[in-house]
Each structure stands twice: as C-alpha cells, then as structure tokens.
Amino acid sequence: MIRSMTGFAAKSGALSPHSWSWELRAVNGKGLDLRIRVPDWVPGLEAALRKALGAGVARGNVTLGLRIVREEGAGDLAVNENQLATVLAALGRIEAAAMDAGVSLAPSKATDIVTMRGVLEQAAIEDDNEALAKTLVVEFETVLADFNAMRTAEGSALATVMHNQLDQIETLTSEAAALGQTRAEQMAKTLRRNLARVMENVDGIEPDRIAAELALIAVKADITEEIDRLKAHVSAARDLLAQGGPIGRKLDFLMQEFNREANTLCAKAQNTDLIRVGLALKAVIDQLREQVQNVE
C-alpha cells in the first residue's frame, strides 16, 4: 500500500460552550513540513497534534487548521441578587413617595420586576479547557484517518498507473535488446568489410593496435549493460511498489538511474530504430517520474 502526498480532510464538532472546525490538507514536498495553526489557549493541544501528524504522515507539506468558537450567552438564567435588592429598594422608595403625595400606584408584579435591567442574567459557565483539549485530540484521530484514507485511495490509483508504465518500459527494453542484437550483427559485417579495405591499403599497422581499436569500438557500441540495468531497475521498482509504505524517495532515486541508462542507450544507438526505442523509453520514464513525485 502506497500513499499520495496530496490529501484533504475536514470535520466539525462541539463541546458546550465551544464549537469548532478542522481542516487538514497536504501537497507534495521533499520532506515533512508541518504547519499547525491552532488556538494557543488550549493546553498541550499543538504538541499532541504535531506528534499525531508526525506518526501518521511521512512526507509532504502538511497544513492543519483548527477554528474554535465560543457560544455567547451559554448557560441557565439566574437572578442577580444584588440588582434585585437595588430594584426592590427603589420601588419601595417610589411607592412611599407616591403615598405621601396622595398618588395611588398599582401593585408591582413579579413579571414587571424580572424584566428590569440586570435582574435576570445568564449564568456563566466555567470553561474546562483540559477536557476540551482531550476531546479535540481524540477527534483528530478521525480527521487524520479520513485524510490518510484519501491519500491511500490516490496512492492505489498511482500504483496502477506506475505498474502500466513499468510494463511499457519492460516491453521497450526487450525491443531495444532485440534491435541491439540485430545491430551488432550488421555492425560486425560492416566492421569486417571496412577492416579488410584498411588492411589492403595500409602497411605497417601493428595487429595489437588494430585489436585494441576494435575492442574500443565494440565496447562503445555494446548496449548489453544498459539493457540489463534497465531490466533490474524495472524489477526493483516493482518490488518497492509491492513493499508499500513511504517509498517516494527511493523511487525518485531509481528514476534517476532509469534516465541515465536510457540516455546512454540513445548515445550508443547508431541506429535509427534503436534511437526511436531509446527516445520512447525516455518519454515513458519521464511520465513515470511525474507520478513518482506524488508518492509519499
């Protein structure tokens, strides 16, 4: 199982008097770069989240954001005793003054009193930030699981594409090997013919010198090592894909080796058909490398 470096997850939750929303996203990166934006008033939260991310993600530029909102006015209604006493005392003075002036007032009702400013108020809720932190850390496990599930699904799709590209490389390598064999026979005939002409027209050439030059030409034209290495690289890439896990760096290094062998094969080709196959190899290897850049 391999994972893509790109992924996204979002989730919302609540624990009175707070509600919150998570957003976790990642893009490609050479290493692991964690950017965590969470409220600093929640005790131990950032350290716990950083530890969880470090254990769950091996590579990529990862951004985690958490937005927490506190509900205003949360809590039961309560009587403000001090304000009630002040209001009742004021009403008493007003009624006494009215009686002295011979003015009759209607009796005050409880419903009238409770509507007066400050008599009823919201009871304050004491925030339990430690409980909030524990809830958030537990919930983040779900966020991270969703995030990795998305990356795993994308990784599975990447693996399918890369296996197909490795099949193409293997087919082109076999074609290059066959063309190399045909080319070797043609080159041997041409070399013998040219050598015969040289020997007929030039005197005094040392046999050892001729043998050394022929050996050098043969080495420069031989693509056997390149073919063998390309086959070995295909096998190594398939083994890595079967192994799974964070294999992106290893695959990236292997792509450099693939490209090096394809370049050398083209340089040694000296044959139109073999050059065509070499260029096709380079194109598929470049496509494979693009996919590898997404692997964790």
CA 50 remoteness from chain centre:
16
What's the pLDDT at 205? 62
d(CA 42, CA 52): 16
Strands 120-122, 32-37: parallel, antiparallel or unpaired by DSSP?
Answer: unpaired
d(CA 57, CA 3): 10
Find out whether 133 and 45 touch, Cβ atoms under 8 Å. yes
Residues of the chain with pLDDT under 50: 124
- Percent of the chain as helix, strand, coil, to the nearest 5: 65, 15, 20
In this structure, the dihedral spanned by the alpha carbons of residues 167, 171, 176 and 182, taken in order and rounded to 10 degrees, is: 160
According to CATH, where is 3.30.230 located in the chain? 7-73+128-152
Token duo for residue 74: 């949360």
What's the pLDDT at 222? 78
Q: At 65, phi and psi to the nearest 5?
A: -125, 140
DSSP conformation letters of 57-86: --SEEEEEEEEEEEPTT-S-EEE-HHHHHH
d(CA 19, CA 13): 6
d(CA 104, CA 179): 119
Burial group, residue 135, by CB count within 10 angstroms (0-12, 13-18, 19+):
middle
d(CA 137, CA 252): 34
What's the pLDDT at 212? 59
Bridge partners for 26 per DSSP: 7, 62
- Fold category of 7-73+128-152 in CATH: Ribosomal Protein S5; domain 2 (3.30.230)
Amino acid identity for residue 77 in this structure = L
What's the pLDDT at 56? 95
d(CA 106, CA 115): 17
What's the pLDDT at 181? 79
Amino acid identity for residue 83 in this structure = Q
Q: pLDDT tens digits, residue range 213-257?
A: 555 555 556 788 999 999 999 999 999 999 999 999 999 999 999
Q: pLDDT tens digits, residue range 117-159?
A: 776 665 545 567 899 999 999 999 999 999 999 999 999 999 9
